[in-house]
Amino acid sequence: RDAQESRGLGDVYKRQPLTENAQLKDPELTIIQGPEGPQMNHANSKSLFDAAQKVIPGGVNSPVRAFRSVGGNPLFFKGGEGAYLIDADDNRYVDYVGAWGPLILGHGSPLVVDALRNQLDQGIGYGASTEAEITIATKIVDIVPSIEKVRLTTSGTEATMSAIRVARGYTGRDAIVKFEGCYHGHADGLLVKAGSGALTLGEPDSLGVPKAYTDLTHVLPYNDAQAVEDFFAKHGDSIACLIVEPIAGNMNLVPPVPGFLETLRAVCDKHGTVLIFDEVMTGFRVARGGAQEVYGVTPDMTCLGKVIGGGLPVGAFGGRTDIMNMIAPLGAVYQAGTLSGSPLAVAAGICMLDAISQPGFYEDLGARAEQLMTGLKACAAAAGIPFTTNQVGGMFGCFFSEEDTVTNFAQVMACNSDHFQRYFHLMLDGGVYLAPSAFEAGFISIVHGDAELAATLAAAENAFAALAS
């Protein structure tokens, strides 16, 4: 503890010394040129995948981990260190998945690991209240001004599901509105035109979801303020809540166009509809106070997840006191969880929130992401490949698109998927791990430094050249 304090938070998360075998391999020396560029050995991953498929459906515990949309076999990993992932065959990759967002401090951050060790010494869980839950709730309330009260869950799915139940209880209305390409977890009523893994399956609706549930879910086009106004003019008074990713991060990355979030706020005010920002991905990722801080639009409720758990299973939802007081045991909306507020998850969360609160954290993170996007666009331009990017803070999106800017779902769907698939594998073979889907946002961490960015751009230069040839 003393050592941790004397080093100071900034030093601890800033830069981890790489172990000797973590040094970047010289791509010239270690990569064998294959038909489509360099090829790595993935024999162990392959046999693990074979074994996994016998006992786990599709070999994976979440569909987007499978390489269905890029082809080939998913990699199995055995380690993570700072900005790097190590696969089962000892290949090292600069990681831009970051466990799908949580690892904003990189892999194995000593801060988080120390916090977890300290908690482990005192027990794993009690199924009863702890002081640390007050600490994390207070920090969330301080950091996200629209949240006056907050409840913890074990996943983002539970956070959105519960927030919607509360909004329905609060308004006494059943119908809800979501947007095409937005993903809010896998609860029944939300699996309509959803993003993320649901998009890669090419079937936005899931079997097993009763039509009666999704009949209550209205879907509107993202970034189309007129469509929202038209819909609410007709049906607004029957809508319990409007849930939105304030920056869409599950159809690749599509930021809101100017005025879009403001329109959502205005129609919700007018019709007594609860405005829910699903900031499971964007919370503590695009800015300390999330997308609502970036765009200055205040929701009634906010859902959180990913970064607040530091890699442990956690979610949260919060909002105005009068709305949150509807929840049991205060109110009649039931919501619960055996592991909610797990001491381990809370310990990790508290140290995440402290780390991201260091001055300059988001300036630094955003600058790295921007540097990466500028570099990638230059590589693509040099090779003559149509390519554009979006970026907000520590998240980014890359598009094989002829468009200058990508602002809607149709443009995302029109991107060149063949280019993406080949690019994905070329980058993988160049030592860069990207999300195995064209519909996922990319994430950078605070320990992605100059060496990692340079290695990424070197791999990209080769990849774009291969695409062009």
Residues with catalytic roles: 183, 278, 306
* Closer CB to ligand PLP, 220 or 457, in the complex: 220
CB of 141 to ligand PLP, least distance (A): 21
What distance in Å separates the CA atoms of residue 82 and residue 103, rounded to the nearest whole number? 9
Pairing of strands 315-319, 388-392: unpaired
Residue count at the site for ligand PLP (CB under 6 A)? 15
**Cα–Cα distance list, 194 to 114, 182, 191, 238 (Å):** 37, 5, 5, 22
CB-CB neighbours of 332 under 10 Å: 9
- Should residue 197 be labelled a site residue for ligand PLP when binding is judged by CB under 6 A? no
* Closer CB to ligand PLP, 31 or 291, in the complex: 291
Binding residue for ligand PLP, selected from 59, 185, 246, 431, defined by CB under 6 A: 185
Pick the stretch among 152-160, 227-235, 284-292, 361-369 that binds ligand PLP (CB under 6 A): 152-160
Site string for ligand PLP, 313-332 (x = CB under 6 A): --x-----------------
CB of 281 to ligand PLP, least distance (A): 4
Binding residue for ligand PLP, selected from 224, 245, 293, 440, defined by CB under 6 A: 245
Binding residue for ligand PLP, selected from 305, 319, 366, 394, defined by CB under 6 A: 305
* Closer CB to ligand PLP, 91 or 214, in the complex: 214
Q: Are 446 and 361 a contacting pair, CB within 8 Å?
A: yes
* Closer CB to ligand PLP, 111 or 194, in the complex: 194
CB of 289 to ligand PLP, least distance (A): 16
Pairing of strands 274-278, 239-244: parallel
- Should residue 253 be labelled a site residue for ligand PLP when binding is judged by CB under 6 A? no
Written as six digits, the tokens of 209 are: 């979801």
Binding residue for ligand PLP, selected from 98, 156, 318, 442, defined by CB under 6 A: 156
| Among the listed residues 442, 382, 427, the one whose alpha carbon sits nearest the alpha carbon of residue 103 | 442
Pick the stretch among 72-80, 210-218, 243-251, 450-458 that binds ligand PLP (CB under 6 A): 243-251
Binding residue for ligand PLP, selected from 160, 171, 200, 342, defined by CB under 6 A: 160
Written as six digits, the tokens of 219 are: 């879907």
What distance in Å separates the CA atoms of residue 322 and residue 85, rounded to the nearest whole number? 44
What distance in Å separates the CA atoms of residue 379 and residue 219, rounded to the nearest whole number? 37
Amino acid (1-letter code) at residue 264: L
Pick the stretch among 182-190, 321-329, 360-368, 382-390 that binds ligand PLP (CB under 6 A): 182-190
CB of 147 to ligand PLP, least distance (A): 16
Q: Are 193 and 203 a contacting pair, CB within 8 Å?
A: no
Contacts of 219 by beta carbon, 8 Å cutoff, 6+ apart:
177, 178, 179, 180, 192, 193
Pick the stretch among 9-17, 26-34, 153-161, 448-456 that binds ligand PLP (CB under 6 A): 153-161
- Should residue 153 be labelled a site residue for ligand PLP when binding is judged by CB under 6 A? no
Q: Are 376 and 457 a contacting pair, CB within 8 Å?
A: yes
- Should residue 183 be labelled a site residue for ligand PLP when binding is judged by CB under 6 A? yes
CB of 469 to ligand PLP, least distance (A): 36
Rg (CA), the chain: 22
Contacts of 92 by beta carbon, 8 Å cutoff, 6+ apart:
22, 24, 25, 84, 85, 86, 431
Site for ligand PLP in 269-298 (CB under 6 A): 278, 280-281
DSSP three-state, residue 461: helix
Binding residue for ligand PLP, selected from 106, 236, 249, 311, defined by CB under 6 A: 249
CB of 275 to ligand PLP, least distance (A): 15
Pick the stretch among 178-186, 268-276, 289-297, 452-460 that binds ligand PLP (CB under 6 A): 178-186
155: left (phi over 0), alpha (psi -120 to 50) or beta: beta
What distance in Å separates the CA atoms of residue 454 and residue 469, rounded to the nearest whole number? 23
Pick the stretch among 30-38, 177-185, 362-370, 393-401 that binds ligand PLP (CB under 6 A): 177-185
* Closer CB to ligand PLP, 438 or 453, in the complex: 438
Q: Which residue's Cβ has the minimum distance to ligand PLP?
A: 156
Binding residue for ligand PLP, selected from 45, 130, 146, 157, defined by CB under 6 A: 157
Alpha helix locations (H) across 272-416?
290-295, 321-324, 343-356, 361-383, 409-413
CB of 397 to ligand PLP, least distance (A): 13
Give phi and psi for 234, each to the nearest 5.
Answer: -90, -45
CB of 160 to ligand PLP, least distance (A): 6
Written as six digits, the tokens of 295 are: 């765009």
CA-based torsion, 91, 94, 97, 99: positive or negative: positive
Binding residue for ligand PLP, selected from 250, 263, 335, 389, defined by CB under 6 A: 250
Contacts of 454 by beta carbon, 8 Å cutoff, 6+ apart:
none
| Among the listed residues 98, 83, 19, the one whose alpha carbon sits nearest the alpha carbon of residue 395 | 98
Residues that bind ligand PLP (CB under 6 A): 155-157, 160, 183-185, 245, 249-250, 278, 280-281, 305, 315
